[in-house]
């Protein structure tokens, strides 16, 4: 019976959920057992035919989830239940070597790394898709003017392309962070009870090297009975940080979708989608709100991850139970957020006419800085110019007049700027600074990255063939 929404398939892709389901977890545990048996055979600890049988039987065709649960119910030790279930399907000569020299954490922590390896690949692929989608949007809306806002107030003029270019480069940084984190996270540990390798014998270091190479992992730096939990805390921190960026984007979509603003809007299936059970006309930003909601939950997973760093002596079990939730939840929640954000951005509705209308709300005040700039260039002290323009701005608001009208009537302004120049200085399109150059730079960086990603994908595909 499903209890959590993750169990029902509501959140995350089929691919991501499959990585963390019971069968996949069991298979990765068996993969570790098989790799260690192989390593033992390579250094001469185990006969090759015995190792080959363990390897052959270490899969979920022979070792069933249901049988492991039956044994676990009897002995109250889930990893030992897998060891016994694998031993049952092997001949006595092979079964005697199952789990030889290992402790539970060797297998469990290394199996987690195998899950992380697959899951991080999906996350990175999703982020690359996001950068690619944003690249197209930046190109499309690079010149679409809109109000820039600070403190929730109109501040100056930007373009939608510039706003989206900021997001695009943030996703690029998240991809780099993810790759750097992967280097420290994709590590295994085959060093026995307290990290000395005593149970593995004199070839312990070689056994660990061979087994982990077979699994596509590196040895963890220094270990006790467990891989040190700062590594896992970093992983969840990185995933949560990516979630924070996605929340930032979603929050902006939500704000700009407000009825009184309505400059952009997340896609809405006009034919069938229901916005509200009460108001048939509603078009709620439900996907953007879901991203924000899940980001909050993800950040909550950081607390146990940080607290798991400080275990008693060489280890205790206070990390174990919560990690059964946190690792899977963090990846599945982030996967859902990436899927939602891809959907939002790939179908983003943009209303340039509303952007143009909203630019006029303040009657020219958006570019008051330009008046200050010109006055300073023509000899007025900067602070004096600022005060003159501030006074004019407040009068325009108080008397509900267009800024240009007040400026033309002010003698301090008129003595420096001719009335005929005012409208030209208040032209929004002439006060975008170097926005287009900044956009060009951002596009060039992302274009090079996307080309590199594509070449990497093609290389992997060719090596796979």
Residues forming the active site: 151, 276
How far apart CA 428 and CA 414 sit, in angstroms, is 21
What's the CA gap between 338 and 123, in Å, rounded? 8
Written as six digits, the tokens of 11 are 């959140």
Q: Please, what's the b/e burial string for 343-377 (b: 16 or more CB within 10 A of its CB; e: otherwise)?
A: ebbeebebbeebbeebbeebbbbbbbebbbbbbbe
Q: Which residues pair with 118 in a beta bridge?
A: none
- Alpha carbon distance 391, 403 (integer Å): 11
Tokens of 253: 């979509």
Round to whole Å and give the CA distance between 184 and 174. Answer: 16
Dihedral of the alpha carbons of 173, 178, 179, 182, in degrees to the nearest 10: 160
Whose tokens are 């809007």? That residue is 265
What are the two backbone dihedrals, phi and then psi, of residue 101, each rounded to the nearest 5 degrees? 80, 5
Please say whether the beta carbons of 320 and 227 come within 8 A: no
Q: How far apart are CA 62 and CA 203, in angstroms?
A: 30
Give the orientation angle of helix 104-140 with respect to helix 78-88, to 10 degrees. 110
């Amino acid at each position: 019976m499903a209890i959590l929404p993750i169990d029902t398939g509501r959140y995350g892709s089929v691919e991501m959920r499959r990585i963390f389901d019971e069968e996949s977890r069991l298979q990765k545990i068996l993969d570790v057992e098989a790799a260690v048996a192989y390593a033992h055979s390579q250094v001469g600890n185990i006969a090759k035919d015995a190792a080959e049988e363990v390897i052959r039987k270490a899969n979920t065709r022979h070792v069933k989830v249901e049988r492991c649960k039956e044994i676990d119910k009897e002995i109250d030790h889930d990893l030992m239940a897998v060891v016994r279930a694998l031993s049952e399907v092997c001949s006595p000569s092979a079964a005697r070597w199952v789990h030889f020299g290992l402790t539970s954490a060797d297998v469990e922590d290394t199996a987690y790394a195998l899950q992380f390896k697959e899951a991080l690949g999906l996350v990175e692929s999703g982020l690359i898709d996001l950068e690619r989608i944003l690249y197209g949007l930046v190109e499309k809306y690079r010149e679409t003017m809109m109000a820039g806002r600070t403190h929730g107030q109109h501040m100056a003029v930007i373009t939608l392309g510039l706003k989206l270019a900021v997001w695009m480069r943030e996703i690029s940084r998240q991809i780099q962070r993810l790759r750097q984190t992967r280097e420290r996270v994709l590590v295994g540990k085959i060093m026995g009870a307290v990290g000395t390798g005593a149970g593995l014998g004199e070839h312990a270091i070689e056994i660990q090297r061979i087994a982990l190479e077979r699994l596509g992992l590196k040895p963890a730096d220094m270990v006790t009975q467990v891989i040190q939990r700062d590594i896992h805390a970093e992983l969840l921190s990185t995933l949560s940080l990516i979630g924070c960026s996605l929340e930032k984007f979603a929050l902006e979509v939500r704000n700009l979708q407000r009825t009184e603003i309505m400059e952009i809007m997340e896609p809405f299936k006009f034919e069938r989608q229901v916005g509200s059970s009460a108001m048939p006309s509603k078009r709620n930003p439900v996907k953007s709100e879901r991203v924000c909601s899940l980001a909050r939950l993800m950040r909550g997973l950081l607390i146990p991850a940080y607290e798991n760093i400080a275990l008693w002596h060489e280890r205790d079990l206070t990390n174990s139970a919560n990690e059964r939730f946190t690792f899977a939840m963090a990846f599945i929640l982030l996967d859902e957020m990436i899927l939602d954000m891809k959907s939002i951005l790939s179908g983003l509705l943009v209303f340039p006419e509303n952007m143009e209308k909203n630019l006029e709300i303040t009657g020219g005040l958006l570019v008051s800085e330009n008046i200050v700039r010109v006055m300073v260039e023509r000899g007025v002290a900067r602070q004096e110019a600022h005060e003159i323009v501030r006074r004019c701005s407040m009068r325009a608001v108080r008397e509900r007049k267009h800024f240009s009208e007040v400026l033309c009537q002010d003698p301090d302004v008129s003595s420096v700027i001719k009335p005929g120049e005012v409208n030209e200085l208040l032209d929004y399109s002439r006060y975008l600074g170097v926005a287009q150059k900044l956009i060009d730079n951002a596009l060039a960086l992302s274009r090079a990255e996307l080309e590199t990603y594509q070449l990497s994908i093609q290389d992997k595909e060719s090596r796979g063939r």
